[in-house]
């Protein structure tokens, strides 16, 4: 038997052997034990580590599900699609399979809850501001990958809502001029959602996107540790260091913030376990009731809607009608003008000029072809030719563009301070309206279409766009408080 001292010596020798061949100790010191984070982190800063924990849960449960799942849309001897039957087999026959499947489905919703709160913290404390632009862009790329991962995985159970939801979403790509119809066929691998579609989505969900996602998460963390973490005061702790080069307002990430993250993980796992064991369907929001029936191409569900985390953008898609487009173009013209005046970024100002040039082509482009219609008819025809023909196309642009707008925040926010603690009432009120509109859009995205819901969604869509488009203007007008030189905490 080796003594405790001998075991410790053996461990040191093993670690030295590894360090000679791989910088394990250096990585640990750089990113954990000697990475100095601000002292005044609050609970909003727990959601980053929570997202990493949920990602691990999704990967582990996904591996076990793939062991028993078969991506095959053909019918078995009982007349049930093999893919649907394999999910039922996991739920009923595989030991612990029901909990693994529910952990994976609940984990998808939990992932988006945590990520949305993580992004909201960035809006609160200006985590996208210089020098963290690249950290924010990597985060937005992660968010887009998560949306793609969720969409491709949604089809795999081969239920009614899965099949018809995929059919509706893929058909949206057909609205893209020229390449749209061929692109939608390429994505499906067929003219309808079929076995080819299932296999393609399975490959993307299990292999392609997870590899990209892991790479982006790694890049996100490396970029974060290179520039340092933001804090609720928005004060750069690297600007004030002691003789040893240690930030005066910083503490080692381990063990101080690790303890907080462990506490947050425990709370998350408690909530997660309650949902998995007692309400895994989430009232029909995490798992729709129609998805417990196999996909039938001849039987359309009465109401087709995406999962809850896509519904705000789905509401914007439905709200973009022909009658709504003039108001939308008027708002875009206002935003472009104010952005061009209020933004100092050269490439954003050039993009504004391109939008103006596109609008000019929309109104007057047909004159190049010698049409002699009355001026009003000519203008309307030019709009349809130059700006995309119909409202469906602009609905797709609205749905995708509303997500991409978050990536522009580092260049749209012209406020002299980062944190909402020192911003004025104007910004706080506009941010509150933005959050309320986002929640309303999410609600109406789960409901069947209605005249009232359509009008409310259109109003909320305009306010959603105005939050981003008018930011260079109202962020300058906002009356801010002076920012302290050092961090404040209790």
Confirm if 40 and 231 have CB atoms less than 8 A apart: yes
Q: Where in the chain is the domain with CATH 1.20.810.10?
A: 30-304
Report the mean per-residue pLDDT for the chain. 87
- What value does the mean pLDDT take over residues 150-174? 91
Helix (H, G, I), strand (E, B) or coil at 251: strand
**Euclidean distance between CA atoms 111 and 51, whole angstroms:** 6
Q: Which of 245, 243, 246, 262 is nearest to 254 (CA)?
A: 262
Looking at the predicted structure, is the pLDDT value of residue 378 above 60?
Answer: no
Q: Tell me which residue has tokens 């301070």.
A: 417
Looking at the predicted structure, is the pLDDT value of residue 365 above 50?
Answer: no
Q: Which residues pair with 294 in a beta bridge?
A: 159
pLDDT band at 261 (very low <50, low <70, confident <90, very high): very high
Confirm if 213 and 146 have CB atoms less than 8 A apart: yes
Around 202, how many Cα atoms within 13 Å sit in the side-chain half-sphere? Answer: 18
- Condensed to tens digits (0 to 9), the pLDDT of residues 2-57 reads 788 888 888 889 989 998 999 888 888 888 888 899 998 999 999 999 999 999 99
**Euclidean distance between CA atoms 489 and 327, whole angstroms:** 46
Range in 145-159, 219-233, 244-258, 457-471 the model is least confident about: 244-258
- What value does the mean pLDDT take over residues 109-120? 96
**Euclidean distance between CA atoms 171 and 181, whole angstroms:** 8
Range in 149-153, 220-224, 350-354 the model is least confident about: 350-354
* Tokens (6 digits) for 105: 């489905």
Q: DSSP letter string over 171-198?
A: HHGGGSTTTHHHHHHHHHTSSSS-HHHH
- What value does the mean pLDDT take over residues 355-375? 49
Torsion (CA) 158, 163, 165, 171 in degrees, nearest 10: 140
Q: Tell me which residue has tokens 């801010």.
A: 480
- What value does the mean pLDDT take over residues 197-211? 95
pLDDT band at 340 (very low <50, low <70, confident <90, very high): low
* Tokens (6 digits) for 424: 């004025």
pLDDT confidence of residue 341:
63
What residues form the annotated binding site? 104, 118, 205, 220, 225
Looking at the predicted structure, is the pLDDT value of residue 480 above 80?
Answer: yes
pLDDT confidence of residue 198:
94
CATH class held by domain 30-304 = mainly alpha
pLDDT confidence of residue 356:
60
Q: Give the length of the chain.
A: 490
φ/ψ (deg, to 5) at 159: -90, 180
Sign for the pseudo-dihedral over CA of 418, 350, 342, 364: negative
- Condensed to tens digits (0 to 9), the pLDDT of residues 77-112 reads 888 999 999 999 999 999 999 999 999 999 999 999
Distances (CA, A) of 463 to 355, 437, 446, 459, 469: 20, 7, 20, 6, 10
φ/ψ (deg, to 5) at 246: -95, 130
pLDDT confidence of residue 374:
47
**Euclidean distance between CA atoms 239 and 244, whole angstroms:** 13
Confirm if 355 and 332 have CB atoms less than 8 A apart: yes
| CA-based end-to-end distance of the chain | 50
pLDDT confidence of residue 346:
66
pLDDT confidence of residue 9:
85
**Euclidean distance between CA atoms 318 and 191, whole angstroms:** 24
pLDDT band at 360 (very low <50, low <70, confident <90, very high): low
Looking at the predicted structure, is the pLDDT value of residue 325 above 60?
Answer: yes
* Tokens (6 digits) for 82: 């093999």
What residues form the annotated binding site for a ubiquinone? 225
- What value does the mean pLDDT take over residues 432-446? 95
- Compute the chain's Rg from CA coordinates: 26
- What value does the mean pLDDT take over residues 387-405? 80
Q: Which has more pLDDT, 60 or 245?
A: 60
Q: Which of 305, 88, 74 is nearest to 198 (CA)?
A: 74
Looking at the predicted structure, is the pLDDT value of residue 287 above 80?
Answer: yes
**Euclidean distance between CA atoms 60 and 106, whole angstroms:** 14
- What value does the mean pLDDT take over residues 357-370? 49
Q: DSSP letter string over 124-182?
A: HHTTTSTT-HHHHHHHHHHHHHHHHHHHHHHTTT-BHHHHHHHHHHHHHGGGSTTTHHH
269 class by beta-carbon count within 10 Å (0-12 exposed, 13-18 middle, 19+ buried): middle
What residues form the annotated binding site for heme b? 104, 118, 205, 220
Looking at the predicted structure, is the pLDDT value of residue 421 above 50?
Answer: yes
What interhelical angle do 325-342 and 451-469 show, nearest 10? 10
**Euclidean distance between CA atoms 195 and 183, whole angstroms:** 18
pLDDT confidence of residue 342:
56
pTM of the model: 0.90
Looking at the predicted structure, is the pLDDT value of residue 144 above 70?
Answer: yes
Sign for the pseudo-dihedral over CA of 78, 80, 86, 90: negative
């Amino acid at each position: 038997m080796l003594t405790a001292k001998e075991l410790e010596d053996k461990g040191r020798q093993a670690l030295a052997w590894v360090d000679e061949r791989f910088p394990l100790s250096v990585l640990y010191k750089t990113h954990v034990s000697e990475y100095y984070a601000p002292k005044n982190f609050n609970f909003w800063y727990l959601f980053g580590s929570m997202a990493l924990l949920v990602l691990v849960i999704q990967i582990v449960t996904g591996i076990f599900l793939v062991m028993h799942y078969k991506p095959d849309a053909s019918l078995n001897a009982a007349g049930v699609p093999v893919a649907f039957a394999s999910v039922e087999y996991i739920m009923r026959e595989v030991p612990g399979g029901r909990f693994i499947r529910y952990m994976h489905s609940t984990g998808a919703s939990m992932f988006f809850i945590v990520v949305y709160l993580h992004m909201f913290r960035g809006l609160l404390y200006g985590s996208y501001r210089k020098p963290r632009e690249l950290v924010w862009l990597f985060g937005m790329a992660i968010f887009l990958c998560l949306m793609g991962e969720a969409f491709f995985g949604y089809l795999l159970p081969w239920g009614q809502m899965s099949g018809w939801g995929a059919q509706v979403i893929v058909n949206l790509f057909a609205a893209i001029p020229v390449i749209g119809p061929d692109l939608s066929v390429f994505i499906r691998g067929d003219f309808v959602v079929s076995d080819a579609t299932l296999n393609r989505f399975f490959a993307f969900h299990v292999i392609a996107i997870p590899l990209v996602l892991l790479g982006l998460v790694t890049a996100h963390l490396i970029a974060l540790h290179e520039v340092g973490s933001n804090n609720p005061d928005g004060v750069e702790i690297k600007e004030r260091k002691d003789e040893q080069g240690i930030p005066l307002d910083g503490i080692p990430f381990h063990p101080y913030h690790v303890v907080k993250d462990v506490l947050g993980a425990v709370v998350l796992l408690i909530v997660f376990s309650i949902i998995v064991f007692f309400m895994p369907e989430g009232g029909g929001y995490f798992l729709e009731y129609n998805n417990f029936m196999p996909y039938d191409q001849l039987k359309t569900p009465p109401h087709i809607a995406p999962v809850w985390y896509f519904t705000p953008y789905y509401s914007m898609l439905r709200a973009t009608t022909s009658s709504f487009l003039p108001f939308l173009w008027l708002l875009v013209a206002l935003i472009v003008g104010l952005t061009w005046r209020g933004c100092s970024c050269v490439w954003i100002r050039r993009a504004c000029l391109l939008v103006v040039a596109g609008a000019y082509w929309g109104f007057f482009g047909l004159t190049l072809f010698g049409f002699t219609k009355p001026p009003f008819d000519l203008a309307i025809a030019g709009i349809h030719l130059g700006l995309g023909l119909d409202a469906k196309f602009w609905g797709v642009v609205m749905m995708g563009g509303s997500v991409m707008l978050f990536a522009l925040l580092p260049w749209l926010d012209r406020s002299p301070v980062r944190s909402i603690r020192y911003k004025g009432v104007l910004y706080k009120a506009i941010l509150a309206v933005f959050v309320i509109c986002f929640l309303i859009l999410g609600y109406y995205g789960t409901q069947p279409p209605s005249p009232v819901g359509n009008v409310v969604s259109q109003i909320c869509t305009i306010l959603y766009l105005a939050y981003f488009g008018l930011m260079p203007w109202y962020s300058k007008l906002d009356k801010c408080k002076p920012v302290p030189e050092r961090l404040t905490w209790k």
